[in-house]
Amino acid sequence: MLRIVKTDLGYLEGIPCGDPRITEFRGVPYAAPPVGQLRWRPPQPAEPWEGILRADRYAPMEVQAKIGVDEKDFYTKELNPTAAEYEQSEDCLYFNMWSPARSTGDKFPIYVWFHGGGLQAGYSYEMEFNGEHMAREGVIVVSVGYRINVFGWMAHPELTAEDPDGCHGNYCLQDILFCCEWLKKNARAFGGDPDRITLGGQSGSAFGAQALGTSPLAKGLITGIIMQSGGGLRSLGYGTGCTPLKKAEEAGVELLQILGVNSIAEAREVPADELYKAYQKMGRRFDVWSPRIDGKMLLEDSTQAYINGNFNDIPYLFGSTSGEGGNVFGGKAPETVEELKAIAEPIFGARTDEFLSLCRTDSKENILRTYRGPAFNARTLGARGFAMTQAEQGKTGYCYIFNHDIPGDDNAGPYHGSDLWFVFNNLDKCWRPFEGKHYDLARQACKYWTNFIKTGDPNGMDISGKPLPEWRPVKENDMFVMEFTDKPGQEEGELDPAARFRIEYELGRV
């Protein structure tokens, strides 16, 4: 196996995984530490090293609120049971890689994983997206650490003036592209294909990946995008898209006031933990700590870019889980038509009755099913809206909904992030009492994902030698949605008429 590789920075030595046919490289530096005078600057090349760097331990996670402390917290038990043990640091520009390569002559496609956390939290080695099992299917998996929250999204008039032609405030997106560029340059050293780099993300990072799909700086570098539970037509249901630069700069001015400093130069000297505390005082405002329309990285709001056809012509795979975000508007789930109407009326106004006529409201069960369906689920609605725009423009898109059974005494259902266990085929790392049908589904889901990473098309053969159930791309006359229940198959019926009405209503088409 290819355990020692020669990169442009020096030699790296990886370690064998549980499956010794897979090599893991942990904590690989792809850029210089963004600290001191490099805080809030574009990523810079890492310093070369002498000898062989043993890549056998993960780097510290990004600076954020301490996670994994509250054992009663759902996501502590589910995803972060040991996260409290890990260090945090502003020095976070490292990646982890899982590779099946035996020699530099191999040419495996590369999957760059952009971890979730609302672009404000998370880390690159959460156990649900460990890349070992996915790498078994013939892809190189790379999970990236990148700047988040105030470190990744800071904008300020001084920063704009400091680098007039730069990507203002989009340090997070610059980090991801810088890592992709480094991987492209060094792909062959790892047995990878420099011309096949797919970017994937979940939740906030799916939104980030979606934004990069519209960036002229990503053209020709990223050859496919996977968006799980966060990409799509972002403004549908969320009410937020990419941040105008002026609004982002105003937030930066406010931050310096909270810090009690008078310049960016002074702010660069503030310790990272104090800077994060100031950010916390402002609140986790996704509308300002998120991708910026800076005129270089992003030319317009990403939702509008997709509607206008201003995006890179690459294949997309996207979708959501059925149990996340069903309560878009706040309040308790409705049990009567009157309660459902009260939730919908602030959105549809005089056209509420027209919208409700398209909903299933003939029973308490159907009212609840409607409320949890795509018309009221922001992430699903955004994905279906994205499917519509892809189909209308004749682009390649594959849409899915995860509606699988999640066992356990907490009745969690297909919660936000539950699909990660399946597409990375990591059920063995989860505490839940999964059974045979779950393992079958995970194997198949992982196959769909890796097929897409290899070719831009999720279809192909299962390990059994039988073809996977067909997953058709969305078309204007065939809005196909792959539904993952006990097994993959076409979602029943066409696009929900209430969801279609809402998408077209919010886009100003009806």
Residues annotated as part of the active site: 203
Q: How far apart are CA 435 and CA 215, in angstroms?
A: 42
Helices (H), 283-336: 302-308
- Dump the DSSP string for 344-402: HHHHHGGGHHHHHTTS--SSHHHHHHHHTSTTT-HHHHHHHHHHHHHHHTT--EEEEEE
Distance from C-alpha of 128 to C-alpha of 144, rounded to nearest angstrom:
15
Residue of 49, 321, 39 whose CA lies nearest to 175: 39
Reduced to 3 states (helix: H, G, I; strand: E, B; else coil), residue 420 is: helix
Q: Where are the beta strands (DSSP E) in 80-202?
A: 94-99, 108-114, 140-144, 192-202
CB < 8 Å & 24+ apart, contacts of 305-312: 305/214, 306/210, 306/213, 306/214, 306/233, 306/386, 306/389, 306/390, 307/233, 307/389, 307/507, 309/393, 310/214, 311/213, 311/214, 312/213, 312/214, 312/215, 312/218, 312/219, 312/222
Report the sign of the C-alpha dihedral through residues 176, 177, 182, 184, in that order: positive
d(CA 397, CA 196): 17
Residue by residue, DSSP assigns 174-197 as HHHHHHHHHHHHHGGGGTEEEEEE
* CA-angle at 357, arms to 352 and 358, nearest 5°: 105
Locus of tokens 């198959």? 489
- Structure token digits, residue 123: 């880390």
One DSSP character per residue, 44-82 reads: -PPPP-SSEEE--SPPPBPS-S--S--TTSHHHHHT-TT
Residue 144: beta bridge partners? Answer: 95, 114
Which of 454, 469, 6, 397 shows the shortest CA–CA distance to 197?
Answer: 454
Cα end-to-end span (Å), the chain: 58
Strands 94-99 and 140-144: what pairing?
antiparallel
d(CA 99, CA 189): 11
Dihedral angle sign, alpha carbons of residues 462, 466, 467, 468 = negative
